[in-house]
Amino acid sequence: MESIWLDTELPHFPPLWGEIHTDVLVIGGGMAGLCCAHTLQEAGINCVVVEKSRLAGGNTRNTTAKITAQHGLCFDKLLRRFGTELSQAYLQANLSAISAFASLAGEIDCDFSRTDHTVYARSGVQQLETELAALNKLGYPAVFREKLPLPFPTAGGICFPDQAQFHPLKFLAGLTADLTIYENTPVLQLTPHLAITEKGEIHFSKAIVATHFPLLNKHGLFFLKLYQQRSYAVSLEGLTPLDGMYLEENGLSLRKAGDAQILGGGGHRTGKRGGGWQALEAAAQRYFPEGTLQQRWAAQDCMTLDGLPYVGQYSKRTPWLYVATGFNKWGMTNSMVAAQLLTCLILEKPHPCKILLSPQRRMLRPQLAVNGWESALNLLTPGLRRCTHMGCRLVWNSQEHSWDCPCHGSRYTQSGQVLDNPAVKPLPAFWRRELQKKK
């Protein structure tokens, strides 16, 4: 269960020993953290990155690595919720992110290529027409295509031209060249302007939490504002892969990577049932019968209440602390958007998405009630299998052989070690023995 990107090994960095000082501490060594560190350094700000294990050891290595401003059929919803100016700001921020990746890829060998991205519908064009009208109002030249080169019938699709794709680990390998990075350096305690690690201390002016799910519960209410989803991918070889990138809302995602065809989908809320690899492998057999399954993998994404990331000050009570999270399955462009926005905030410069993406924005969305219900239900359900994050009941994931938390998305191995945060502590030994009995 390893992704196609793991043919590239990232450079190794030592753990932190002793005491250091920096302007900005970046916690988390995935795409978001490293993009933040690079952008800050380019702006002349001294920064340090700490990663609890290995760089890109979490979800960055499991992305489908699409770089696009087309995040599903999102712009009609944004326009109705936030109006023209803020919707345009989000669109332009993502287009700017693509340009930033393109500029960096000119110096990094990362299989970067420009290509179109299309959101398609199997039947009915009403949603596509509504989205296209919203894009026209925002002044973006999207194209409606009636015929698509897909191996199944569609009603057409909305195409964003000149988007991009790349090899994320090759990109990060190049991005690390001039950064100060410490691996195997978990932050054990974080207080204003001081981080305590296993063997060192970091004094800083500002800090950015880029740990996928934020690490502090007592600030920001992220355990209510976020939930997590599993997504699955397979790669096929022995066929001629499709040109371009494609996505059906709540359906198949497609892109090529060299001579391989990547299919994504089968997603579900962590701790719930979903299509998983079985759905993808059935689709592969149906639409690409000449292909041979090469690899399969899964990712986990933080989902927000309104479909937009949380990027900005961690909470009103922590003016020294910032966060980048909740990328809603669009972690590549949103990582760069976060890097550019947070750099502006730290430099006290304006950014058009400051208010739109603020973690302190309005929480009263329908998803908040769903998140609260899931947490209450699992907290009150009796049983020994409890998550070390906030005590929710764990459920057995038979596809991936893991114990998953339906509340906030923590996951554990069969032996009780943490696979995905927000949990940081493994399951107690006596629970692990019981879990082995109850699978």
Compute the distance between CA of residue 392 and CA of residue 375 in angstroms, rounded to an integer: 7
Compute the distance between CA of residue 247 and CA of residue 230 in angstroms, rounded to an integer: 17
Taking only Cα atoms into account, the Rg of the chain, rounded to an integer number of angstroms, comes to 21
Compute the distance between CA of residue 329 and CA of residue 230 in angstroms, rounded to an integer: 10
Compute the distance between CA of residue 80 and CA of residue 390 in angstroms, rounded to an integer: 35
Whole-model pTM? 0.94
Tokens standing for residue 380 = 């009150």
> With contact defined as beta carbons under 8 Å apart, do 364 and 97 qualify?
no
Number of other CB atoms surrounding residue 395 within 10 Å: 19
pLDDT at residue 185 in the model:
97
pLDDT at residue 383 in the model:
67
What residues contact 285, with CB distance under 8 A and at least 6 apart?
none
Q: Provide the residue ranges of all domains of the chain, joining segments of one domain with +.
A: 4-63+170-224+306-346, 367-438
pLDDT at residue 439 in the model:
53
pLDDT at residue 375 in the model:
74
- For residue 158, the SS3 value is strand
- For residue 411, the SS3 value is strand
CATH pick for 367-438 out of 2.102.10.10, 2.60.120.1440, 3.30.420.40, 3.40.50.12780 = 2.102.10.10
Scan for tokens 């693509």, then name that residue: 98
**Distance between the two ends of the chain, CA-based, in angstroms?**
21
Compute the distance between CA of residue 18 and CA of residue 197 in angstroms, rounded to an integer: 9
- For residue 355, the SS3 value is coil
DSSP-derived letter for residue 210 is: -
The per-residue pLDDT string of the chain (439 residues; one tens digit each, 9 = 90 and over) reads 689 999 998 999 999 999 999 999 999 999 999 999 999 999 999 999 999 999 998 889 999 999 999 999 999 999 999 999 999 999 999 999 999 999 999 999 999 999 999 999 998 899 999 999 999 999 999 999 999 999 999 999 999 999 999 999 999 999 999 999 999 999 999 999 999 999 999 999 999 999 999 988 889 899 989 999 999 999 999 999 999 999 998 889 999 999 999 999 988 898 888 888 899 999 999 999 999 999 999 999 999 999 999 999 999 999 999 999 999 999 999 999 999 999 999 999 999 999 999 999 988 788 877 777 777 777 767 666 788 888 888 888 888 888 998 888 889 988 888 888 888 888 887 665 665 655 5
Going by CATH, does the domain composed of 4-63+170-224+306-346 fall within 3.50.50.60?
yes
Tokens standing for residue 305 = 């209440």
Estimate the crossing angle of helix 75-105 against helix 168-175, to 10 degrees.
Answer: 60
- Least Cα distance to 106 among 164, 20, 28 occurs for 164
C-alpha 126: how far from chain center = 29
